[in-house]
Amino acid sequence: MKRNNSDIVIFERIKSGNSDALTALFNKYYQQICRFTFLFIPENKIVEELTANVFINLWETRKKITIHSSVKAYLYQAAKNQAISFLRKNKNMLTPLDDFLDLPDRRDQTPEAIYIEGELNLEFTKAYKKLPNRAQLAFKLHRLDGLKYSEVAEIMNISIGAVEKNITSALKILHSELHSYTKAN
C-alpha cells in the first residue's frame, strides 16, 4: 500500500503542475509500460513512442484526469488504449508472445547454474506461449508486473472473477507443462 500511496502523492504533484513529479513517475514506470505495450506491438521504436505518449498525455490532461483504482493501473490502461489505437491505424502489425522476465545479475553464478536457468527460462517461455491470450495477459499483469486483480480487471475490461479464472487457467497449464522441472530428482 505504501507504494500506491506514494504514486497518489506523485500524481497530485503532477496535477498541480510539478514536472519533476512527472519525471519521477516516468522513471518509475517507463520500462514496465514498454514491456506491457510490447505485448501488443513487437516494434521497440513504436513501443517507446507510444509509452512516451502515455506520459505526455498524462501531463497535457493532468487537470482532467481522475484515478479510479491506482496510478499504475491508469498508466497500463492508457498504454493499452495507445496500442489499440495504433493497431487500428496499422492493421498489419502482429502481437508478439515474448518472455518478459527480467534476468538476475549473473556474476556470482556458476556456469552450470546459468545453463540450468537458461533452460528453465526457455521451457517457461514455451509453456507461456501455449497459454490462451487472455490468460497470458492476466498472468503477466498480476504475477510479473504485480498488479492487483481489480487493476488487471480494469485494464482487461473483464470482471475480477474472470481475472481469477484466467490466472488459474494459466497456472494449471504452466504447472502441467513444467511439471518435470518441478519434481525433486
Measured from the Cβ of residue 83, the count of other Cβ atoms closer than 10 Å reads 23
Position 2 scores a pLDDT of 40
User: Looking at the domain 2-89, which fold is it?
Assistant: Rna Polymerase Sigma Factor; Chain: A (1.10.1740)
pLDDT of residue 155: 85
pLDDT of 10: 92
Where in the chain do CATH 1.10.1740.10 domains reside?
Answer: 2-89
154 and 77 in contact (C-beta within 8 Å)?
yes
Q: pLDDT value at position 94?
A: 45
Cα angle 101, 102, 107; round to 5:
135
How far, in Å, CA of 38 to CA of 48, rounded?
Answer: 9
Q: Where in the sequence of the chain do the CATH 1.10.10.10 domains occur?
A: 111-182
pLDDT of amino acid 16: 94
Q: Under CATH, to which class is 111-182 assigned?
A: mainly alpha
Separation of alpha carbons 43 and 69, rounded Å: 29
> What confidence score (pLDDT) does residue 114 get?
64
Blockwise average pLDDT, block size 10, the chain, 185 residues: 71 93 94 88 88 94 88 91 84 46 52 69 82 90 85 89 93 84 55
